[in-house]
Amino acid sequence: MAMKLTMILAAASIITILHRTTAIPSETLTNAADTLSNSGYVAMSLTLNLVSDVLLSHYNSATIFTPPDSSFAESGQPSLSLLQVHFSPMVFSLNSIRSLPFGTKIPTVDSDTFLTVTTPASSDQVSINNVKIVGSPVFDDGSLIVFGIENFFDPNFTISEPPLSVERLDHCTTSFGGDGNFTFHESANVLISRGYSVIASFLNLQLLGFTNQPTLTVFAPSDELMVDYSGRFPDYQSLFHRHVLPCKISWRDLTTVDDGTSFDTYLEGFKIKINRSDGTFKVNEVPITFPDMYYGDSVVIHGIRDILSLPDPVDEVSDGDGDPVDETPAKTSGRELIASAPDRSEF
């Protein structure tokens, strides 16, 4: 009990000292530019210093794909429209890109242009728009990941063959296994390293109260998003429960989910609705920004851009005879529970 109280206080202190931000910190961009320069990507280092305010000012996370200096020398200084397709507003680890089926679309900061995964099913070499990714990330601090690629992407690239067929996921049920000797330390450590310390604390607290190893999907808001929810310890459980599904749904699984499919969470009556459009995915209208941040035997974690809010309460209205009518949606429907701006009154 003492340890659990200590962890609650630790989570509270993390939330309290945070400052909400809507953009990638300038220090991160400076570090990325320095690392690129030191790694032999001088052209993209200089370019990042020039265009980051234009391309990344509205995003708190991103993936950059950088061609080598030789490609810049060949083509000359690329246009801003070409650079846009090399910047994605989502964070992708190498493993998450590798797991994506052939033909999967990846959004870019140009809302009209998507990249396409072209990795052959039997290959370990990851490619996008038929351009290979070179090795491990050049830079990775959690909110910004930079990959080297062999050449510039063709923004007009299309694939002639259809995407690979993947079995569709249409349900999510509780699944248990193993014994009572389990922890979330590995997944929590990954969360902490990438700026999701509050959700890591909730996981370590085991607020779901399992006695056996569960399978979970966690949609994790970053620390900066949790600053407005500090100091209300009794509400932490509700906050955490509505971000957790009782099964594993990877980014690859999400690509098979029909648009509008809803899944139950661990908060009774609260559902998460998946919306997909081209290469983008939203949960209750909140974009997923870091797919497969962690993928383990029992837990999958996706970073999201905002907190999943409870529905706004519906005020009682008169039926014309002076009697109030309760217009609250039936709990069993679940499909009307779409996120709006965070309801601060709950906390």
* pLDDT score of 109: 92
pLDDT tens digits, one per residue of 268-310? 899 999 998 766 789 999 999 999 999 888 899 999 989 998 8
Work out the end-to-end distance of the chain between its first and last CA atoms, rounded to an integer number of angstroms.
Answer: 24
pLDDT at 207: 61
**Residue 211 confidence (pLDDT):** 53
Between CA 265 and CA 246 the distance in angstroms is 7
Residue 19 has pLDDT above 50, yes or no: no
pLDDT in tens, 23-75: 788 999 999 999 999 999 999 999 999 999 889 888 888 999 999 999 999 98
The residue-averaged pLDDT of 321-328 equals 46
Residue 18 pLDDT: 41
CA–CA distance, 219 with 119 (Å, rounded to integer): 27
Which of 8-12, 13-17, 44-48, 74-78 has the largest mean confidence?
44-48
Q: What is the pTM of this model?
A: 0.73
d(CA 219, CA 240): 9
For residue 139, what are the β-bridge partners?
A: 146
* Tokens (6 digits) for 307: 């907190």
80-137 per-position pLDDT tens digit: 999 999 999 999 988 888 888 888 889 999 988 999 999 887 777 899 999 999 989 9
User: What gap in Å lies between CA 141 and CA 153, rounded to an integer?
Assistant: 24
pLDDT confidence band for 14 (50 / 70 / 90):
very low
Q: Name which of 60, 344, 313, 311 is nearest 229 in CA terms.
A: 344
What interhelical angle do 42-55 and 26-38 show, nearest 10? 160
**Tell me, what's the pLDDT at 208?**
62
pLDDT of residue 335: 28
Q: Which of 37-41, 142-146, 150-154 has the lowest mean pLDDT?
A: 142-146
Maximum Cα–Cα distance across the chain: 78
pLDDT of residue 272: 94
Half-sphere exposure (CA, 13 Å, Cβ side) for 205?
Answer: 23
Nearest CA among 250, 236, 174, 168 for reference residue 207: 236
Calpha distance 66→188 (Å, rounded): 30
Matching CATH topology for 26-149 and 175-304? yes
Percent of the chain with pLDDT strictly greater than 70: 73
Q: Give residue 262's pLDDT band: very low, low, confident or very high (50, 70, 90).
A: very high
Of 172-181, 316-325, 330-339, where does mean pLDDT reach its minimum? Answer: 330-339
| Mean pLDDT for all residues in the chain | 79
In the chain, domain spans: 26-149, 175-304
pLDDT for the residue numbered 16: 42
Q: Are 18 and 223 in contact (CB under 8 A)?
A: yes
Tell me if residue 74 falls in helix, strand or coil. Answer: helix
| DSSP track, 44-106 | HHHHHHHHHHHHSTT-S-EEEEE--HHHHHHH-SPPHHHHHTTEESS---HHHHHHSPTT-EE
pLDDT at 10 over 60: no
Question: Rounded CA gap, 135 and 121, in Å?
Answer: 18
140: phi then psi, degrees, rounded to nearest 5: -160, 110
Token code pair at residue 191: 């969360």
What would the two tokens of residue 7 be?
């962890």
Grouping H, G, I as helix, E, B as strand and the rest as coil, residue 117 is: strand
Say how far apart CA 54 and CA 127 lie, in whole Å: 27
Place of tokens 């209205």: 317
- 1.20.120.530, 2.30.180.10, 1.10.1300.10, 3.50.50.60: CATH of 26-149: 2.30.180.10
Angle among Cα 17, 299, 173 to the nearest 5 degrees reads: 120
User: Which residues is 117 bridged to in the sheet?
Assistant: 128
Closest CA to 268 of 316, 337, 211: 337
Q: Tell me the C-alpha distance between 280 and 223, whole Å.
A: 22
Superfamily of structural domain 175-304: FAS1 domain (2.30.180.10)
Residue 109 in contact with residue 153, Cβ under 8 Å? no
112, with CB counted inside 10 A (0-12, 13-18, 19+), is exposed
As a whole number of angstroms, the distance between CA 201 and CA 185 comes to 10
